[in-house]
Amino acid sequence: MAILIPIKDGIRNYPPKITANLQEISGDFAIEKPLSVKFPYSLHTESSHSIHIRKKKKVTFNSKIIADLKSIASAQRNGIPQLWRNVEWSNEFFEFIYWLVGSSKPPEILEIHPPFIDYCNSFDDFLDIFKNFQKIFYKEYNNTKVVIENRCGTLYKDEYGKEGKFLLSTHNDILKFAEILHKNQDIRLNIVIDYPQIFSAIIIEDSKISMDNLKGAVEKITSFNKDLKEYRTVISGLHMWGKQKNKNGKWNSHSGDFDTFFSDNDPLKTDFLDSVFDTFNDDIPRYFVPEVYLGSQEDLHSIVTDMKKAGFIFIPKLSID
């Protein structure tokens, strides 16, 4: 079976008969006070985009907690955080999380994001920094699962004015990092795959592929999914969302469903979802976040329905526990 644990993200509900007893909670650097959470949750930390899509709020580094964390406050370029800048940064990141959680229950999941390659250009460098964080984090939150999401797209520019690239971004990055984590069981870090962001990374790399012509991207992702099977035990979750064109013909992310994403090409949509299902049809429960921030509840229902048609089953976490 391909089992997904539904996480509620925002105000939109899953279709009837699917219960999400985990809620995603934002914990970015723009936050100004500790959480007050009484229910099971996944803590989604800073993504280094700059203006957060859900809150339209920019990190200012002026809040008291961030201003007191000197390494985090100084690790930025034009107001965009440089995640995992160094070991000192990782120490302060733990301090930030500890302050943020406060008197709330510890999170079930802590989702982190990768650094930019202009200051951290290898997985070895990143893991040296992460291991320091891991050592102090798990002393306090031993039952929390830490996952890292692949990222593509940011307002960050490096010192030469080029758009920043995340260390974990392309399908090849994910495959390489999954192999490293699979071989290093002492690293308590898993991957959550955001598939739409893989499509974005492929489009950036290959000029022959566009949102209007995703056949080549689906072929690459299908091949990637086959190779990933060997390391799939380190994949703990999936993010899915749609794209659709606005009235000006521009593609809007996190809105629409798979039909709009694939321009109503049903065979292409089916090939993609069948490939994902085949890779994760292993009886291992994985978390699922439908990032339909700007879409409707109908969009979310459509995405979930398509995944159910592909063979995925949705089981609440408490039922698995």
CATH number assigned to the domain comprising residue 170: 3.20.20
Q: Identify the pLDDT of residue 317.
A: 80
Q: Identify the pLDDT of residue 1.
A: 96
CA–CA distance, 222 with 291 (Å, rounded to integer) = 22
Q: How confident is the model at residue 63 (pLDDT cuts 50, 70, 90)?
A: confident
Q: Identify the pLDDT of residue 10.
A: 83
Count structural domains, the chain: 1
Alpha helices (runs of H) in the chain, residue ranges in sequence order: 64-68, 70-74, 87-101, 123-140, 171-183, 195-205, 215-228, 258-261, 266-279, 297-310, 317-320
Averaged pLDDT, 36-48: 93
Its pTM stands at 0.95
Report how many helices (DSSP H) and strands (DSSP E) the chain contains, helices first: 11, 13
Q: Identify the pLDDT of residue 40.
A: 94
Whole domain around residue 137: which residue ranges? 2-320
The residue that leads in pLDDT, 28 or 220, is: 220
What's the token pair of residue 294? Answer: 């700007």
Residue 53 pLDDT exceeds 80? no
DSSP 217-280: HHHHHHHHHHHHGGGGGGEEEEEE--EEE-TTS-EEET-S-HHHHTTT-HHHHHHHHHHHHHHT
Averaged pLDDT, 193-206: 97
- Return mean pLDDT, the chain: 94
CA–CA distance, 152 with 303 (Å, rounded to integer) = 21
What's the token pair of residue 273? Answer: 């979802």
Give backbone dihedrals phi and psi of 273, rounded to 5 degrees, phi first: -65, -35
Residue 36 pLDDT exceeds 80? yes
Using DSSP bridges, classify how beta strands 312-314 and 2-8 pair: parallel, antiparallel or unpaired.
parallel
Rounded to the nearest angstrom, the gap between the alpha carbon of residue 244 and the centroid of all alpha carbons in its chain is 20
Q: How confident is the model at residue 105 (pLDDT cuts 50, 70, 90)?
A: very high
Q: Identify the pLDDT of residue 51.
A: 56
Cβ-contact 60, 76 below 8 angstroms: no
The residues facing 239 across adjacent strands are 194, 289
Q: Identify the pLDDT of residue 140.
A: 97
Cβ-contact 135, 188 below 8 angstroms: no
Indicate if the alpha-carbon torsion angle 161, 167, 153, 251 is positive or negative.
positive
- Range name among 59-68, 203-212, 233-242, 284-293 with the lowest pLDDT average: 59-68
Q: How confident is the model at residue 293 (pLDDT cuts 50, 70, 90)?
A: confident
CA–CA distance, 312 with 6 (Å, rounded to integer) = 11
